[in-house]
């Protein structure tokens, strides 16, 4: 939502729609409003006493990590620490957080400045990933860990259900892609950083996987390694569709 549309009636309608998508009704909607408020919007509303969602994103990151760890521990009780860590890294990757944000159309509900809105902020990976974590924090603050677990479970269940413990995970994606391309008679893939989004303390890297002049995929991550792994995974999925 842009500055021009932030009024009481519009807020109520939008928050109700988002609550339906989340499957959770807030007791204190001010928490949800803050979770949806990007710092760019605050910069245009300095006299309104509003708060942005950055500290809530910090809390949401911790809540997300705990809940995902607990869920995969319960799902895969016989896995060792390394195997569980790989699954967790996969589920909380920037690419999957973007997927989860898109599932609830989170970009449509964000409060952005006019400039950020025009610059495509509603589709930016970093903004959406941070906002998803902030919304999870808002649920936790409003309803406790049980409410946050219920909301997250609905969002990630499809990811967990489709997860194949025998397929490549984390560090194996790059080698799996290399082997797949070799079997096709293609040259080795090249990974190129095409963009860096956000401040230094929480930068998001955007990486493309190329074979010669052909782009196989593009993805992002909070480190260069994570972005490369996510891009390799997406490239494998794209190759399977061909």
Pair of tokens at residue 148: 């946050």
Please tell me what DSSP assigns to residue 203.
-
Which of 139, 161, 183 is the last residue before a domain boundary? 161
Can you give the pLDDT at residue 204? 85
Task: Enumerate the active-site residues.
Answer: 61, 133
To the question of pTM greater than 0.75 for the whole model, the response is no
Of 148, 120, 177, 155, the closest CA to residue 32 belongs to 148
205 and 109 housed in the same domain: no
* 61 and 67 Cβ atoms separated by less than 8 Å: no
108 and 157 in one domain? yes
Let me know whether 111 and 222 are in one domain. Answer: no
Rounded Cα distance, 231 and 221, in Å:
9
The closest alpha carbon to 220, from 154, 117, 130, 112, belongs to 130
Structure-derived torsion over alpha carbons of residues 52, 53, 55, 61, reported in degrees to the nearest 10 = -170
Q: pLDDT tens across 36-73, in order?
A: 999 999 887 776 678 999 999 999 999 999 999 999 99
| Final residue in a domain of this structure, among 114, 129, 161 | 161
Question: Are the C-beta atoms of residues 136 and 63 closer than 8 Å to each other?
Answer: yes
Backbone angles phi, psi at 80, to 5 degrees: -85, 175
* Cβ atoms 220, 125 nearer than 8 A: yes
Residues 139 and 28 in one domain: yes
Query: Is 28 found in the same domain as 140?
Result: yes
Tell me the residue range of the domain where 22 lies.
Answer: 3-161
Please report whether residue 12 resides in a domain: yes
In this structure, the answer to whether residues 119 and 205 fall within a common structural domain is no
Consecutive H or E run containing 182: helix 172-183
Name, in order, each residue with C-beta under 8 angstroms of 204's C-beta and a sequence gap of 6 or more.
94, 125, 126, 129, 196, 197, 198, 220, 221, 222, 227
pLDDT tens digits, 155-212: 888 777 766 665 545 456 787 788 788 878 888 899 999 998 877 777 888 999 999 8
How many domains are contained in the chain?
A: 2
- Note whether residue 167 is domain-resident: no
**What integer pLDDT is reported at residue 209 of this predicted model?**
94
CATH code, domain with 187 = 3.30.160.20
pLDDT of residue 140: 98
What one-character DSSP code corresponds to residue 103? H
């Amino acid at each position: 939502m842009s500055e021009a549309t932030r009024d009481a009636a519009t807020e109520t309608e939008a928050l109700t729609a988002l609550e339906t998508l989340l499957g959770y009704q807030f007791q204190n909607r001010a928490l949800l409003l803050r979770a949806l408020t990007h710092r760019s919007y605050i910069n245009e509303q300095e006299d309104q006493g509003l708060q942005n969602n950055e500290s809530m994103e910090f809390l949401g990151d911790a809540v997300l990590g705990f809940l995902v760890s607990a869920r995969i521990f319960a799902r895969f009780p016989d896995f060792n620490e390394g195997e569980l860590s790989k699954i967790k890294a996969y589920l909380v990757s920037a690419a999957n957080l973007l997927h989860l944000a898109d599932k609830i159309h989170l970009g449509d509900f964000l409060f952005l400045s006019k400039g950020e809105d025009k610059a495509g902020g509603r589709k930016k990976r970093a903004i959406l990933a941070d906002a998803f974590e902030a919304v999870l924090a808002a649920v936790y603050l409003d309803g406790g860990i049980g409410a946050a677990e219920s909301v997250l479970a609905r969002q990630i269940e499809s990811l967990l259900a489709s997860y194949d413990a025998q397929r490549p995970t984390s560090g194996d994606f790059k080698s799996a892609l290399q082997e797949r391309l070799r079997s096709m008679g293609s040259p080795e893939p090249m990974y190129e950083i095409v963009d860096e989004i956000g401040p230094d303390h929480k930068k998001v890297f955007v990486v493309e996987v190329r074979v010669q002049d052909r782009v196989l995929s593009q993805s992002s991550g909070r480190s260069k390694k994570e972005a490369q792994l996510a891009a390799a995974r997406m490239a494998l999925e794209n190759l399977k569709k061909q």
